Amino acid sequence: MGSATREALAQSVAALEAAQGSVDLSTAAELLDAGRVIDASAQLRTLIADPAAEPEVKAEVANRVFGGRVGQTAASLLGVIARGRWSSAEDLLAGVEELGIRAAAISAPDADLESELFQFGRAVSSNAELELALSAKLGSGDAKADLVQKLLAGKASEQTVLIVSQLVRQARGRRTGELLRRAASVVASQRGRTVATVTSASPLNDTQVERLRGVLGGMYKQDIAFNLVVDPELVGGMRIQAGDDVIDGSIASRLADLKLKLAG
């Protein structure tokens, strides 16, 4: 991510924070829908992502396109996005998507969106047929969204259903698991937390989880949202992934390292 994109994204997130009192689920849906509209129009996408274009000209174009089809809060946020200086069209689309996900998180402060996204991602990864149905490039976006809604109906919050439905509609070449991991990370960031996926050979008890929360919280200087996975193949110990960091203290990993050393 270029410095221009980081600045544009920071400005957009700051505008979202300032508008929190008027952000609801419809705001999130409108932002995510707007991302699809921008993605579908090469002319619109190129103009808004053009760093040489005048910010107010870009904002006026965005207002003409979206002003009559979204609410006041979403329209204002799209104006901020349009005024931003994005490094590329792909960064622009990623920024709109992130703002929509953050809006969904704001609209349901008590819903465990990180866990719901993680669990659905696990379900997809463990089912090759479902993975193909949601990730196939030739599949209809609406059909994928309908499938998500059927699978999650009554099992997840409206926010999670919205996020997943919109992401599979606009995958932009990304696999479903990658989409959901990124979404969970954005939700956690909006809530001032870091997501840590902890895989252990046997279930962790409450004391172990709290001890781990203290250690990781000290490392990352943030509250920790846990995704706990049990994998007997680890034999013992645990593997922790937080963002791009991986801490592997499993016995299986140590045995694998030993085999490599012996083979060398």
Q: Are residues 91 and 121 in the same domain?
A: no
Q: Is residue 241 a contact partner of residue 183, using CB atoms and an 8 Å limit?
A: no
Report the C-alpha gap between 153 and 207 in whole angstroms.
34
Q: Lay out the sheet containing 238-242: strands in order across.
A: 223-230, 193-200, 238-242, 245-248
Q: State which of 107, 138, 156 marks the end of a domain.
A: 107
pLDDT value at 256 more than 80: no
Amino acid (one-letter) located at 84: G
Three-class DSSP category at 193: strand
Query: Is 241 exposed, middle or buried (CB count within 10 Å of its CB: 0-12, 13-18, 19+)?
Result: middle
Pairing of strands 223-230, 245-248: unpaired
Pair 100, 125 in one domain: no
Q: Is 198 helix (H, G, I), strand (E, B) or coil?
A: strand
Residues 39 and 70 in one domain: yes
Do 200 and 165 lie in a common domain? no
Cβ(243)–Cβ(219) under 8 Å? no
In this model, does residue 244 exceed pLDDT 90? no
CA-angle at 180, arms to 176 and 181, nearest 5°:
115
Same-domain check for residues 10 and 74: yes
Whether 175 and 204 share a structural domain: no
CB neighbour list of residue 124: distance below 8 Å, 6 or more residues apart: 130, 131, 134, 176, 177, 180
- CA 105 to CA 101: how far, in whole Å? 6
Let me know if 225 is exposed, middle or buried by CB neighbors in 10 A (0-12, 13-18, 19+). buried
Q: What is the mean pLDDT of residues 103-122?
A: 93
| Three-state SS at 61 | helix
Q: 198 with 224, same domain?
A: yes
**Cβ–Cβ contacts within 10 Å for residue 233, how many?**
9
pLDDT more than 90, % of the chain? 61
Same domain, 160 and 118: yes
Segment 35-64 shows an average pLDDT of 95
Are 14 and 29 members of one domain?
yes
Residue 232, Cβ density class (10 Å: 0-12 exposed, 13-18 middle, ≥19 buried): exposed
| 25 and 89 fall within a common domain | yes
In angstroms, the CA 186 to CA 60 distance is 28
In total, how many domains does the chain have? Answer: 3
Over residues 191-226, the pLDDT tens digits come to 999 888 889 888 989 999 999 899 888 988 888 888
Q: Do 210 and 174 lie in a common domain?
A: no
Domain span at residue 93 reads 3-107
Predicted model pTM: 0.85
Q: Please say which residue of 155, 189, 223 terminates a domain.
A: 189
Per-residue pLDDT band at 100 (split at 50, 70, 90): very high
Arithmetic mean of pLDDT, 78-95: 96
Overall size of the chain counted in residues: 264
**8 and 101 part of one domain:** yes
Any idea what DSSP says for residue 70? S
For residue 116 the two structure tokens come to 């719901």
pLDDT band at 258; cut points 50, 70, 90 = low
Domain boundary among 76, 107, 138: 107
